[in-house]
Chain A
């Protein structure tokens, strides 16, 4: 591990990679602050830039910086104008905004920055401990286990992403897998489902799909509902960023607990930073003394520290399945996985063995990213917050323009822009009807790997024999079935109980 850390330090502390971290954090903070643009949209927009860099370590360091920055930026807009830039900072606004309204915006931003820093750093330490261990276990996996593991990942994502609507999430996952089969697959080398359209010969573009699923609907929502735009509110005066020793002492255990809890939630597929932040807030509220409980929602610094540490730790945690198993645990890490594949890097247990400089550089750059956010962004916040004053009439056309440019740069094909618009309209309609879109993208990204592993197992065992001959495979597939059936069953029971017909009522 020590060798790996040294390699990582060497790569992460090269001048160009340091600039990547700093640049990524700043860009992420700026854009993440704009309400309506989540980390998935921001990373989608940044991917063509990252891919054009060519160096996978630098690209991943840049994208990880953007990810952290976006979460940090989202907290700032949550606190200052009660408009969370990203879903995972909604819980931040519960106490952050009341604090800002009491004239304590500076204090709230400091608590958020310190909690984020500690959450991210503790998460990175845990990642450093857990990831190599998990990767060494995963090295024992064969294609059959990989296939089963991916099915588990997809089922878990469907089960978590579609809380109460597992079938919808499952349908979206299958739709993503179906979209992945369009085009010329590597395994059979023959076009499938292209309907004779030349532009579909190479399949749907991952960047185009990511933009269409996340950036475009968000931008359209900003157009449809002007109240979602930033220009509505005015940022309050930001002064006095200090916190007292007593305040630091009171939030320290909260940060410790929530960093660990957030990390563990982040590791689970499907349960990302959003769930971690809400759960962190709820847990801290429940275990707080009675008199402190009343403060939650009215400007409690504990209520602010809890979701902030949890969401950053969860972001780091979500890198564990990505780096060690090659399975994205969230929509954002799915986009990062797509970027890695585009850079000819295969995340998974072999990544640590074959390309340790990438693996460790990403982990080390997470420390650096957290430090950059703390040192650089905190004093700059009053200036960065000016971005909230960009008028909607200018902001929205630029979001659309960057979305278009992202897809164009990714494919260098104007037809791709028409596909983007078409898919973007479909994605917006799907969101209207509350169909989760992250499972679709994850299904699309994992689709070809899932089929490759399935096909390889079928060829090796001349049929479905691998299901019977490899107990771990059947065990994992059983787990996948439980993950899908259990939430549906519980939701059904809850509905029936509500209707008063369950349990013999």
Chain B
């Protein structure tokens, strides 16, 4: 089965779960006076779930050849292993680690770490250039966000104080 049909199947499952909630469980907690209204919180979602199920089923059951291949310049998922898949996964992992580290480690260390390690994942080895650029960028962005935009970003880890 082609990828687009797998995706349609997943969306169908999500739509069914969404529809089940809208049709059967959502209105249980509705106050009695609201039940006289023409519109309930579940009215719109009910319609959406039906539409989503119909669309997903059309894609899933359509006899047309849906796996026509990629457009020029796009990534062909059937040859995914020919691409730099490892680098992409590693960078996504770095993003997740960055998200988890941002508060406990502080913005400056987390950002410098993220930029340096990400560039190294991509093959950069000139650390004497990379580290100063990362430190400078982290410092400038921290100043702009905290100083200019006024959004609080803890620059350093908690044990080093608030750092502001």
Contact = CB atoms under 8 A, between A and B. Distances in A.
Interface of A: 48-49, 52, 167-168, 170-171, 174-175, 177-178, 181, 185, 187-188, 190, 192-193, 220-221, 223-226, 228, 391-394, 396-398, 400-401, 404-405, 408-409, 412, 414-415, 417-418, 420-421, 424-425, 429-435, 451, 454-455, 458-459, 461-463, 495
Nearest to B71: A434
A430 B83 CA distance: 17
Contact of B137 (A177, A398, A432): A398
Given A52-B151, A168-B59, A224-B83, A178 B15 contact: yes
B43 interface: yes
Given A401-B111, A414-B99, A417-B95, 5 more contacts: A52-B149, A167-B58, A223-B88, A408-B102, A414-B100
A181 B47 CA distance: 12
B99 A404 contact: yes
A435 B4 contact: yes
Contact of B11 (A52, A175, A187, A462): A175
A224 B75 contact: yes
Nearest to A416: B99
B41 A393 contact: no
26 contacts: A52-B150, A168-B59, A171-B52, A174-B52, A175-B11, A193-B21, A220-B91, A223-B84, A223-B122, A225-B75, A226-B84, A393-B123, A394-B133, A396-B122, A397-B115, A397-B122, A398-B137, A401-B111, A412-B151, A418-B96, A432-B75, A433-B2, A433-B3, A433-B6, A434-B74, A459-B39
Contacts of A409: 145, 149, 151
Interface in B88-142: 88, 91-92, 94-96, 98-100, 102-103, 111, 114-115, 118-119, 122-124, 130, 133, 137, 141
A226 B133 CA distance: 22
A221 B75 contact: yes
B70 interface: yes
Contacts of B21: 193
* 9 shortest interchain CB distances as A-B pairs: A417-B99, A397-B118, A393-B124, A171-B55, A433-B4, A432-B77, A224-B83, A458-B39, A188-B41
Given A178-B48, A455-B44, A171 B3 contact: no
Nearest to A458: B39
Contacts of B91: 220, 223, 396-397, 400
B83 to A, nearest CB: 4
Interface in B58-89: 58-59, 62, 64, 70-71, 73-75, 77, 80, 83-85, 87-88
A421 B84 contact: no
A404 B76 CA distance: 26
B51 A174 contact: yes
Interface of B: 2-4, 6-8, 11, 14-15, 18, 21, 26, 29, 37-39, 41, 43-45, 48-49, 51-52, 55-56, 58-59, 62, 64, 70-71, 73-75, 77, 80, 83-85, 87-88, 91-92, 94-96, 98-100, 102-103, 111, 114-115, 118-119, 122-124, 130, 133, 137, 141, 145, 149-152
Contacts of A181: 44-45, 48
Contacts of B118: 396-397, 400-401
A433 B122 contact: no
Contacts of B103: 414
Chain B facing A: main interface SS = helix
Given A52-B150, A193-B45, A225-B75, A434 B11 contact: no
Which of A49, A174, A454, A455 has its CB near the most chain B CB atoms (within 10 A)? A174
Contacts of B52: 171, 174-175, 178
B36 to A, nearest CB: 10
A422 to B, nearest CB: 9
A433 B119 contact: no
| Residue of A187, A435, A459 contacting most chain B CB atoms (<10 Å) | A435
Contacts of B92: 220, 421, 424-425
B5 to A, nearest CB: 9
A224 B85 contact: yes
Nearest to A460: B38
A433 B7 contact: yes
Nearest to B78: A432
Contacts of B38: 458-459, 461-463
A401 B39 contact: no
Contacts of B85: 224
Contacts of B8: 171
A184 to B, nearest CB: 10
Given A228-B73, A433-B4, A495-B64, A178 B59 contact: no
A414 B154 CA distance: 12
Nearest to A192: B41
A238 to B, nearest CB: 25
A458 B43 contact: yes
B39 A455 contact: yes
Contacts of B94: 400
A224 B45 contact: no
A157 B41 CA distance: 26
Contacts of A455: 39, 43-44
Contact of A178 (B45, B122, B149): B45
Contacts of B100: 414, 418
Contact of B149 (A49, A174, A418): A49
A392 B84 CA distance: 13
A339 B85 CA distance: 34
B41 A171 contact: no
Given A397-B119, A433-B3, A455-B39, A223 B87 contact: yes
Contact of A421 (B29, B55, B62, B99): B99
Residue from B4, B77, B83, B99 with most neighbouring chain A CB atoms (10 Å):
B99
A341 to B, nearest CB: 19
